[in-house]
Amino acid sequence: MALRDRIHGVWDVPDGGAAAAVVNRVLEEADSLPQLTRHDGWDWHMHFGRRGATLSARLGAELAMGIADLIRHADFERLRYCSAPDCSAVLVDLSRNRSRLYCDTGNCGNKQHVAAYRARQAGRQPH
């Protein structure tokens, strides 16, 4: 199964416990080795994939650790599907008030706002 499909599965599980199982499986498959590093002008930060690992393994480890933080901080509900009716993209709502509805991939928010505006305009009677 491709990394995208495994990670995408996190959005389809009912709770953080089930998501943790997916996260742990991805970390195991990535043979993750967390390490503190500083390089290329960046101050100390974490890398979760092994040096020399495939791009898929490194991305999997990074994504899994990000999701693990959401689970650990009881923020699992921040994982959502885009609310646009013609979009199936996923998103992580990092807004302060947890109100984000649309993804960034397809300009969905703007399209929905334009459609709502046009619908309001069409409902108005000429004077």
Per-residue pLDDT of the chain (127 residues; tens, 9 = 90+): 788 888 988 999 988 889 999 999 999 999 998 889 999 999 999 999 888 899 999 999 999 999 999 999 999 899 999 999 999 999 999 999 999 999 988 899 999 999 999 999 988 765 5
Farthest-apart Cα atoms in the chain, separation? 70
- Length of the chain counted residue by residue: 127
Question: In terms of domains, do 90 and 115 share one?
Answer: yes
Cα(92)–Cα(63) distance, rounded to whole angstroms? 11
pTM: 0.77
Domain containing residue 47: CATH number: 1.10.3300.10
Residue range of the domain that includes 42: 1-79
